Amino acid sequence: MAVDEKESLAPAKPSLWRDPNARAIVFQVIVLAAVTLFIVFIIKNTLHNMESRGISTGFDFLGNESGFGILQSLIEYNESSTYGRTFFVGLLNTLLVSALGIFFATILGFAIGIARLSRNWLVAKLAMVYIEIFRNIPLLLQIFFWYFAVLRALPGPRQSLNVGDAVFLNNRGLYLPRPVFEDGFGLVLWVLGVAIIATMVMTRWAKRRREASGKVFHTFYASLALLIGLPLLAFLISGAPMSWDVAALKGFNFRGGLGVIPELAALLFALSIYTAAFIAEIVRAGIQGVTHGQTEAARALGLRPTPILHLIIIPQAMRIIIPPLTSQYLNLIKNSSLATAIGYPDLVAVFAGTTLNQTGQAVEVIAMTMAVYLSLSLLTSMFMNWFNARMALVER
Amino acid sequence: MAEQISGQHQPHPDLSPPVTTVGVLGWLRQNLFSSPVNSLFTLAMIYLLYISIPPIIKWAFIDADWAGSTREACDSGGACWVFVKVRFSQFMYGFYPEDQTWRVNMAFLLLIVLSIPLFIKSFPKKAWLGAFILCIYPIIAFYLFYGDAFGLERIETTQWGGLMLTLILAGVGIVAALPIGIVLALGRRSNMPIVKSICIGFIEFWRGVPLITVLFMSSVMLPLFLPEGVTIDKLLRALIGIVLFQSAYMAEVVRGGLQAIPKGQYEAADALGLSYWKSMTLIILPQALKLVIPGIVNTFIALFKDTTLVLIIGLFDLLGMIQAAFADPKWLGYAIEGYVFAALVFWIFCYSMSHYSQRLERKLHTGHKRN
């Protein structure tokens, strides 16, 4: 009797069929087997199909001559370059437009996000109109608009719009003066390096002194003077060793200067304007996310509006802003692939487009393209996570 | 004298507030001219509006041409809406035969009629209606669009286009991605390591690549994946790509909802002795999905805008039709009108949906909120 009671109190050992652990193992084995079978099925089909269509496999094609030119390339490239080089040209063009896009979108986005919270009714409303218009229109449509309706419709080189005979805008692109560095410009760079180090030392000293004595030293204007004033001085002393190469009309087109092809300009306009609308909303939410009590407490401590902004609001708002900002940057990088629609030679256009059409090696080409975007995404989010960890306030 | 004797002290009547702090003047002073810098901003903005708005209005309305049916009707120098008017049916239906467009209209009208009750608060059995729209309606719509049954003429998918195709792509994308997304989200939160890592890998892969490479993949690689002899429709290939891509985003939205459900709900379901699937379908998912409706609407908006990308792989959605219309030699040079029209259509859809989702967010922001 006693033994029976003990047995009934002990947790019943479930049958193997009802044991959650056993079930989990069986279930996972089935899932794994199904996924593996599916992948094997696809690989087998693909290999068979490629063989029957006479498509070669492997990455040997990267060494073959490409035979097509590219509109804009940051490294030397011509028609006799290899497909491998085409890949790098495309990759660099993608990186170029992404980096520039992130730069402009951040500036514009922060400006509009802050304007959205302005106490000036008109400024706030206009910022809202901007946001509502640009984030609700597809990016591709905006790219087409800037490219086909605006930049392509500009007058030709002979009637180009010009600003002070230095900047020219026509349907072939935007021409800016290009700085030409002459001998002796190295000195300016050296001085700039010294100024950067001096600023860092000064900031440290100011911080240490403030913590020790409570005396505040305003580093902002001093750093500005160091960073701009010193190199400027060196520049003037060494006899201004820099000139501008201004584009000039020769024949039917402009020569010299820094030419920006209309494809790049249109893509950059559209990407920056579109992403800025999203960044503005993130910035607004971030600033509004810092509770009003924080501002009141800072005022109660006797801080003035500028230190309140710098010491209380911005550090806390940044903690809210950075994670969604990261995903906007990632979106921008991925969206830069829309370049292919207007013929800007980015990775997708020259590699997943032209190279794929010429070689027919869809699997390798698409896999390489996707791998690039995956690693770009991963790298950006790693960098932003690191930055986020640095910005995050250490809580006790 | 008499007043003083009576001892009544009459308070002096309040002075009215200074004119500069009340009424229109006060509002202007407070909101537009509160400081010199602000005044400067206001004036700059007014100047900006002054130089931009009147020319736009002049172009779009005052100088615009509305009547007529040929290019010759557009001679006043303003916008040429005749172009949009002439092409309107193509922008809406693509190359769908003109005498059959009633089928498309029927399908969308049916959807609107079916969805109206969903917005009425007191309508009974909303869940059933929702299930009908998600499960049965797509079948009806398919036969209306494609035909080849019930005495309807067959219309190949290559003839589909315009706004209709945009709506089909976005609609199918979201409806098919939802169940896959739910399964992936549950898998990602599962305790089983293999299931969890497969789901994470799948989600992160699709979220890490641009939609355009996915579309390229589905249009050039998908035919290679299939056994020999099996061909697959171009539209279907694009849809497969979109659904795979979208399901990863959907999974993350649903995961957000699953995480917002307090742990007590999971524990209570376990304590009741419910099995995993029962606790999910009866306790967790109904609450989680309610929470993520605004998120789903936002994903839908993103997808709706992204469907324009299909024009790169040769499908003619609304933007694709407009882009194709520019190539018509009879109507060269009306790009701005076309883009403005497309922008307006997309904007109306996206803005109203985002407004709806914001309202919903406020309405649903009730339970599960700390403090």
Task: Check whether A238 has a pLDDT greater than 90.
Answer: no
Cβ contact B212–A348 (<8 Å): yes
Residues B285 and B306 in one domain: yes
Residues A140 and A7 in one domain: no
Question: For chain B, what is the mean pLDDT?
Answer: 84
Per-residue pLDDT, averaged over A202-226, amounts to 83
User: pLDDT tens digit string along B206-253?
Assistant: 988 999 989 988 888 888 888 877 778 888 999 999 999 999 999 989
* Structural domain includes residue A58: no
A contact test, residue of B39, B220, B326 with most A CBs within 10 A: B220
Query: Does B321 contact A at CB distance below 8 Å?
Result: no
Cβ contact A138–B192 (<8 Å): no
* Structural domain includes residue A173: yes
**Which residue's entry shows tokens 């969206």?**
A335
* Structural domain includes residue A66: no
What A350-355 contacts at long range (C-beta under 8 Å, 24+ apart), as own/partner pairs, is A350/A70, A350/A86, A350/A89, A350/A90, A350/A93, A351/A86, A351/A87, A351/A90, A352/B213, A352/B216, A354/A68, A354/A86, A355/A66, A355/A83, A355/A86, A355/A87
Cβ contact B319–A49 (<8 Å): no
Residues A199 and A231 in one domain: yes
Question: Which of A35, A50, A340 lies at the smallest CB-CB distance from B224?
Answer: A50
Per-residue pLDDT, averaged over B84-95, amounts to 84
Task: Kindly write down the DSSP assignment for every residue of B268-292, as one continuous string.
Answer: HHHHTT--HHHIIIIIIHHHHHHHH
Cβ contact B213–A28 (<8 Å): no
Separation of alpha carbons B345 and A141, rounded Å: 11
Residues B58 and B81 in one domain: no
Cβ contact B210–A24 (<8 Å): no
> Directed axis angle between helix B81-93 and helix B318-326, to 10°?
130
Cβ contact A337–B210 (<8 Å): yes
* Structural domain includes residue B122: no
Q: Where does a domain end: B39, B62, B85?
A: B62
Residues B27 and B171 in one domain: no
Q: Where does a domain end: A196, A218, A240?
A: A240
Residues A231 and A375 in one domain: no
Residues B23 and B92 in one domain: no
Question: Which of B34, B228, B312 lies at the smallest CB-CB distance from A119?
Answer: B34
Cβ contact A119–B311 (<8 Å): no
Residues B299 and B173 in one domain: yes
Cβ contact A49–B224 (<8 Å): yes
Residues B77 and B57 in one domain: no
Residue of A nearest to B28 (CA): A121
Q: Which residues contact A323 (CB under 8 A, 6 or more apart)?
A: A384, A388
Cβ contact B228–A123 (<8 Å): no
Residues A183 and A173 in one domain: no
Confidence band for B370, pLDDT divided at 50, 70 and 90: very low
* Structural domain includes residue B205: yes
* Structural domain includes residue A354: yes
Q: Tell me how close the Cα of A379 comes to any Cα of chain B, in angstroms.
A: 11
Residues A319 and A370 in one domain: yes
Residues B79 and B51 in one domain: no
Cβ contact B342–A118 (<8 Å): no
* Structural domain includes residue B125: no
Q: Which of B249, B258, B248, B243 minimizes the C-alpha distance to B297?
A: B249
If one counts the domains in chain B, the total is 2
Position A187: which residue type?
Answer: L
* Structural domain includes residue A38: yes
Residues A115 and A28 in one domain: no
Task: Check whether A240 has a pLDDT greater than 80.
Answer: no
Domain limits at A8? 2-52
Separation of alpha carbons A190 and A181, rounded Å: 14
Task: Check whether A344 has a pLDDT greater than 50.
Answer: yes
What is the share, in percent, of chain A residues with pLDDT greater than 90?
Answer: 23
Q: Could you tell me if B337 and B84 are in contact, meaning their C-beta atoms sit under 8 angstroms apart?
A: yes
Residues A193 and A215 in one domain: yes
Q: Where does a domain end: A213, A240, A267?
A: A240
Residues A104 and A14 in one domain: no
Residues A137 and A270 in one domain: yes
Residues A169 and A112 in one domain: yes
Residues B47 and B195 in one domain: no
Q: Which residues of A touch B46 (CB under 8 A)?
A: 122
* Structural domain includes residue B140: no
User: pLDDT tens digit string along B55-88?
Assistant: 888 888 888 777 777 777 777 777 888 888 888 8
Per-residue pLDDT, averaged over B190-205, amounts to 89
Per-residue pLDDT, averaged over A30-54, amounts to 87
Question: For chain A, what is the mean pLDDT?
Answer: 83
Separation of alpha carbons B156 and B146, rounded Å: 7
* Structural domain includes residue B107: no
ipTM of predicted assembly, 2 dp: 0.86
Domain limits at B302? 73-96+155-364
Q: Which residues of B touch A123 (CB under 8 A)?
A: 41-42, 45
Residues B78 and B57 in one domain: no
Which stretch of DSSP H or E encloses residue B252? helix B234-260
- 3-class SS at B192? coil
Residues B51 and B163 in one domain: no
Residues B57 and B92 in one domain: no
User: pLDDT tens digit string along B346-355?
Assistant: 999 999 998 8
Residues A208 and A333 in one domain: no
Q: Which residues of A touch B166 (CB under 8 A)?
A: none
Residues B164 and B30 in one domain: no
* Structural domain includes residue B340: yes
Q: Where does a domain end: B11, B41, B62?
A: B62
Q: Could you tell me if A295 and A310 are in contact, meaning their C-beta atoms sit under 8 angstroms apart?
A: no
* Structural domain includes residue A306: yes
Q: Tell me how close the Cα of B290 comes to any Cα of chain A, in angstroms.
A: 23
pLDDT value of position A105: 95
Q: Please report the number of interchain residue pairs, chain A to chain B, with beta-carbon separation below 8 angstroms.
A: 145
Cβ contact A138–B306 (<8 Å): yes
Confidence band for B5, pLDDT divided at 50, 70 and 90: low
pLDDT value of position A134: 93
We report the CATH number of the domain holding residue B165 as 1.10.3720.10
Which stretch of DSSP H or E encloses residue B25? helix B23-31
* Structural domain includes residue B115: no
User: pLDDT tens digit string along B262-278?
Assistant: 888 889 998 998 888 89
Task: Kindly write down the DSSP assignment for every residue of B291-351, as one continuous string.
Answer: HHHHHHHHHHHHHHHHGGGGGGGT--BHHHHHHHHHT-GGGTT-HHHHHHHHHHHHHHHHH
Q: Could you tell me if B293 and B360 are in contact, meaning their C-beta atoms sit under 8 angstroms apart?
A: yes
Task: Check whether A274 has a pLDDT greater than 80.
Answer: yes
If one counts the domains in chain A, the total is 3
Residues A120 and A196 in one domain: no
Separation of alpha carbons A105 and B335, rounded Å: 26
Per-residue pLDDT, averaged over A277-299, amounts to 90
Q: Which of B295, B299, B307, B313 minimizes the C-alpha distance to B345?
A: B307
User: pLDDT tens digit string along A180-204?
Assistant: 777 777 788 888 888 899 889 988 9
Q: Which residues of A touch B306 (CB under 8 A)?
A: 138
Q: Where does a domain end: A240, A266, A289?
A: A240
Residue of A nearest to B166 (CA): A138
Query: Does B57 contact A at CB distance below 8 Å?
Result: no
Q: Which residues of A touch B327 (CB under 8 A)?
A: none
Separation of alpha carbons B325 and B91, rounded Å: 9
* Structural domain includes residue A78: no
Question: Which of B220, B312, B339 lies at the smallest CB-CB distance from A141?
Answer: B339
We report the CATH number of the domain holding residue A378 as 1.10.3720.10
